[in-house]
Amino acid sequence: MTITPFSDYKKAHDEMGADVTIRRLQEYIGTQMKKLAELEVPYHERMAVAAEEIRELVMAEGKTIVLSGVRGSYHRGRRSTSWKGVAEELDPPEELVEKFTTTGEPSVIVSIVDG
């Protein structure tokens, strides 16, 4: 196993974090995002109240409603079958279970470890 890509990844991450221009821009953007969030509060509050009323109307109708450029999408409850439960009841042979079993591809997530 070669360690170089791991150390290269960590070094680039640390250098990016130490870049003064990047840090200043992140701080500026963070400040602006806080200001924006504060300005949006009253609108989000109004939208939340209206959204709850829309949910109640759509549930009462039992169908999707589109008015004034807003869609309240109705989705019937999800129906699912516990195929594991069905299989346990039927006690199928292992070969049959394997025939209908699939395994996804493995994956890798790269991240910085704190500490």
- At 40-93, the pLDDT tens digits run 999 999 999 999 999 999 999 999 999 999 999 999 999 999 988 998 899 999
Residue partners of 1: CB distance under 8 A and separation at least 6 = none
Tokens describing residue 80: 């699912």
pTM value is 0.64
Higher pLDDT, 64 or 94: 64
Q: What pLDDT band is residue 21 in, cutting at 50, 70 and 90?
A: very high
Residue in 95, 59, 51, 57 with CA at minimum distance from that of residue 75 = 59
Distance CA 102, CA 86 (A): 18
Is the alpha carbon torsion for 98, 104, 106, 111 positive or negative?
Answer: negative
Tokens describing residue 46: 């109004």
> How many helices (H) and strands (E) would you count in the chain?
4, 2
**Which percentage of the chain shows pLDDT scores above 90?**
86
